[in-house]
Amino acid sequence: IQRIAVITSGGDAPGMNACIRAVVLTAQHYGIEVLAFRHGYEGLLNNDWQRLDETNVLHILQYSGTIIKSARSERFKQAEAAQEAARNLDAHQIDALVVIGGDGSFRGADHLSHHWDGQVIGVPGTIDNDLFGSDDTIGYSTAVETAMDALDKIRDTAEAMDRVFIVEVMGRHAGFIGLSSAMASGAERMILPELQREKPLTVASIVKHIEAVQRVRGDSSYVMVLSEHQWPGGAVRLAEQLEDRLHLPCRPCLLGHTQRGGRPTAHDRILATRLGVHAVQLIRQGVSGVMAGTSGQGLAETPLAETWQKRKGLSQEWVDIQQSLFNPVKKSKNGS
């Protein structure tokens, strides 16, 4: 192996820079050159590249974003586009490509591998944590910290004014950020895709829960975490619907892209570093078509297609804990 390429693709995630750094430093250790294509698959199509060596990656691991830029590329989905990308990679004599991104980016990597002979390794970089085959993904821990921090701040003002707040978090079609941030902040309720699929909450059931909580506690705040795409009209609409029924101030708060920025947590920096090193080691071993992830204390590889074809579930234990802690009806029946 003489030369590898790296891209960051799809939604950016805190820790991507730490991963780029690990790839570059590890490759350099083995005398392998690294080229980055900028703006994800768009860079492969536009032949927009730069060489990366130690000097380019000094002191970047503490910053979110990605020094080689990320993007989405609709046109890359065409067979001709993958062929064009393959030609560009071959022109640079690239032996292997590291794709840091989410499930869409891995579909892209798989698509490319049908048209290119080089090795392709995926590294899970997405705040959503929705990839099968890795306990967690680069950026997830930081996004949860950011959401928790916001929820703590919301609690301060909610409690002062006895208000209901609906805080909308990211996660795409998975409730990992929602569940973790709700647990970490002690939110009274959470609306997550996995739970909505099983037993959807209605305005009436939410109102009943809020009234039950307030009956038990007296004056009190009520904070609900809402995963994106889980309520028509989102947190803004749900707040209006609740306010109509409760005649109490109900406020929406959309965390949006704040969850993609900020200083990556130690966990994300370490995870990104481990996976970046692992990706290069796999390339040196001749491996291709897998995602480099973690399982328990160790490292694990999963065929790219499995990462999106199989579903990673929420921890039922966590869901049960979170729901049992906020069951005021049962609590009052027990005479407390």
Please count the residues of the chain.
Answer: 336
State phi, psi for 125 to the nearest 5 degrees: -125, 95
Q: Which CB sits closer to ligand ATP, 108 or 252?
A: 108
**What x/- string results for residues 219 through 258 when contact with ligand ATP is judged by CB under 6 A?**
----------------------------------------
- Judged by CB under 6 A, the residue of 126, 181, 214, 307 near ligand ATP is 126
Q: Which residue, judged by CB position, is nearest to ligand ATP in the bound state? A: 104
* Bridge partner residues of 290 (DSSP): 121, 303
Locate the DSSP E strands across 140-245: 164-169, 189-191, 222-227
85 sits in which H/E element: helix 79-91
Q: Minimal distance in Å, beta carbon 109 to ligand ATP?
A: 8
Q: Minimal distance in Å, beta carbon 198 to ligand ATP?
A: 23
Q: Is 111 in the site for ligand ATP (CB under 6 A)?
A: yes
- For ligand ATP, the binding residues in 45-74 under the rule CB under 6 A are 72-73
Check 103, 128, 136, 268 and give the catalytic one.
Answer: 128
- For ligand ATP, the binding residues in 6-25 under the rule CB under 6 A are 9-11
43 contacts: CB under 8 Å, gap ≥ 6: 7, 36, 37, 49, 68, 69, 71
CA 80 – CA 331 distance, rounded (Å): 62
Q: Is 128 annotated as catalytic?
A: yes
- Judged by CB under 6 A, the residue of 128, 145, 168, 194 near ligand ATP is 128
Q: Is 260 in the site for ligand ATP (CB under 6 A)?
A: no
Q: Which CB sits closer to ligand ATP, 214 or 307?
A: 307
Q: Minimal distance in Å, beta carbon 276 to ligand ATP?
A: 17
Tokens of 67: 């020094």
CA 163 to chain CA centroid, nearest Å: 30
Q: Minimal distance in Å, beta carbon 13 to ligand ATP?
A: 6
What is the helix, strand, coil percentage profile of the chain, to 5?
50, 20, 35
Q: At what angle do helices 103-113 and 79-91 cross, to 10 degrees?
A: 70
Q: Which CB sits closer to ligand ATP, 111 or 269?
A: 111
321 sits in which H/E element: helix 316-325
CA 253 – CA 158 distance, rounded (Å): 12
CB 265 within 8 A of CB 142: yes
Half-sphere exposure (Cβ direction) of 172: Cα atoms closer than 13 Å: 13
**What x/- string results for residues 70 through 109 when contact with ligand ATP is judged by CB under 6 A?**
--xx--xx-----------------------xxxxx-xx-
Q: Which CB sits closer to ligand ATP, 103 or 145?
A: 103
Q: Minimal distance in Å, beta carbon 50 to ligand ATP?
A: 20
Q: Which CB sits closer to ligand ATP, 41 or 176?
A: 41
Q: Minimal distance in Å, beta carbon 128 to ligand ATP?
A: 6
Q: Which CB sits closer to ligand ATP, 76 or 165?
A: 76
Q: Minimal distance in Å, beta carbon 20 to ligand ATP?
A: 16
Q: Which region holds residue 129: left if phi is over 0, alpha if psi is between -120 and 50, else beta?
A: left
Q: Is 172 in the site for ligand ATP (CB under 6 A)?
A: yes
CA 31 – CA 133 distance, rounded (Å): 30
Tokens of 142: 């930081």
Active-site positions? 128
Task: Return residues touching ligand ATP (CB under 6 A).
Answer: 9-11, 41, 72-73, 76-77, 101-105, 107-108, 111, 126, 128, 172
